[in-house]
Amino acid sequence: MSIKLGDTAPDFTADSSSGEIKFYDFLGDSWGILFSHPADFTPVCTTELGFTSKLKSEFEKRDTKVIALSVDNVEDHKKWISDINETQNTDVQFPIIADQDKKVSELYDFIHPNASATATVRSLLIIDPEKKVRLIITYPASTGRNFDEVLRVLDSLRLVDNYKVTTPANWKNGDEVIVPPTISTEDAKELYPKGVREVKPYLRFTPQPNI
């Protein structure tokens, strides 16, 4: 199965370091991040899981639940979490799915045969409260994920959903946002009371509406 943007994220039940996980129940009405790892006790992934753990309060502020996946078993996950906590000076509290039979990996297209016939690629999905896939990023095994970018995209998606705007290149929280081309300048001036800055008829900016 190939997962694409806009698809409904498949539901599943699986064992994890925190017990049995029913994915939709775990997410509830929150945003979700599901990210896969090739194996336990790998150095790049150890730093990633540690950094993710340190961002716990940032994800909570964004009403976002985080869950990881690796093809190793629950006992290995628990031993790995101990290593992560020790080496990264943190306390991992989010679950790591045990996907030994690769059912979840195959469901989410985490197995890329040209990269590895057995190990999962390092993909990350952002899933919205309607269970729609809103972001897919796949990294090579050698390069750690940029979680500042993950938070940036999460902020952008939440802003786009709550206000009729889009975000420009390198946007970060607090910057100007773009008025979508589907909204006329006349309507934009009513929709965005902070003002509209027109560069071209199709390129118009307004201050971030929720600040």
| Among the listed residues 67, 86, 79, the one whose alpha carbon sits nearest the alpha carbon of residue 40 | 79
Compute the distance between CA of residue 69 and CA of residue 45 in angstroms, rounded to an integer: 11
Residues, the chain: 211
Structure tokens at 184: 């006329």
Structure tokens at 18: 């925190």
**Residue 122 pairs with which residues in a beta bridge?**
139
Report, as residue numbers or ranges, the catalytic residues: 45
Compute the distance between CA of residue 84 and CA of residue 198 in angstroms, rounded to an integer: 49
| Among the listed residues 95, 31, 84, the one whose alpha carbon sits nearest the alpha carbon of residue 62 | 31
Residues 6+ apart with CB under 8 A from 21: 13, 14, 15, 67, 95, 97
- Asked whether the beta carbons of 176 and 205 are under 8 A apart, the reply is yes
Give the sign of the dihedral formed by CA 149, CA 28, CA 5, CA 68: positive
Compute the distance between CA of residue 94 and CA of residue 17 in angstroms, rounded to an integer: 8
